[in-house]
Amino acid sequence: MNIKEIKNDLLSESYYEIEHDSGLKIMVYPKAGYSSTYAVFGTNYGSIDADGIPNGTAHFLEHKLFESEELDAFELFAKTGAQANAYTSFDRTCYLFNCGANFAENLKILINFVQHPYFTQATVEKEQGIIGQEIRMYQDEPNWQVMFNLLRIAYQKHPVRIDIAGTCETIAEITADCLYDCYHKFYNLSNMALACVGNTTVEEVLKVVDETLENTPEVSGELRRDLLEPYEVGETYIEEKMAVAMPLFCFGFKEDVSKDPIGRTSLKEKILTSILFDTIFGETTEFYNELLSEGLISPSFCTEYFEGPGYRMTLFSGDSREPQKVAEAVKNRIVEVKKNGLDPVEFERVRRAQYGRAIMAYNDVDGLANDLILSHFENSKLFDDIDIYKNITIDDATERLAEEFDVDNFAMSVVLPKE
């Protein structure tokens, strides 16, 4: 077992990376004086990993793992006073809890239920009805639909175009054997990570792990296949009518991922994109305030860098009586900035503001635990953002701008009010 301390002099803090003998990567970030502790146990497996299995299996498996032959995990956590949850994203599944006391006991519960799956065909069929209701509920949610409609037309082959929960038809194909097969393939410890942040120590975490964790057989070969996707969007426009008071929009510019079809955007690239968003379209810009004063956008207008293994898009969303005019204004703004260059004063203001927020984020134990898991799966380190913000330049941002916001590779989704 190897333990490595990762320090940051600016924050005067450190966390520990542990290569456990079981193959599990463990990260512990002690926060002396904090009243709570947060733990996340995650696997590098999400909805896009559906090659040969029904869409929605990863999300279905997340739901079922909380059950056992006796009490389910939520009941066990409730007895200790902890708050527990889980989530499935496109590329990972995580199980977590937050507690103010009884951390060791809660960590045992977390490890135990994640490592002991219990599925029967009867319980699977019951869950199919529950998740089917959840899928139908999201189909009636306009903000969810406007986003996934965009992904369905922008992406031609990549499974990111499919809802994380799958469809009622695909989850009907899931069986207990299917869940066990996926569990044993993706929930092996070498494909997982555990992060603990807050009022704990390396010694406390390792004591629980050594007493509780059960080794898993290694799985050979790559678990995530190449997710080849054409550069061009599949279609450029889609609309749907739903019960909304004002039209909703979500549009974006798709990026080329052909150089690395299962790779991730680097942390530096993501930070640069965030800076570009705020520098060009942020709430302090003349562009934003002109659109706001003209009534073309509302304060709901927002930007997002949507990226993961094999997919990358710069997204814009909100509500507007004239979504097409918003899209044209954004395109014109992109062309203008690419021609005239970034405002150096605004760039520096945004860089400093985001740098400050990045430092403040190290007080959030919940966010830190999830960031530790994400950074591990992305092959980066937690403190890397501090150095990037400190040293990034407008030349870096200009180079990144040239790679993004291709106005000719654009797709738009709109949800209109029912007549």
Told to judge if 62 belongs to the known catalytic residues of this protein, a careful annotator would answer yes
Give the gyration radius of the chain's Cα atoms: 23
Question: Of 13, 19, 62, 283, which residue is the catalytic one?
Answer: 62
The amino acid that residue 263 corresponds to is G
Nearest Cα neighbor of 154 from 258, 231, 227, 89 is 231
Number of C-beta neighbours around residue 75 at 10 A: 12
Evaluate whether 212 touches 106 at the Cβ level (below 8 Å).
no
Q: Annotated catalytic sites, by residue?
A: 62
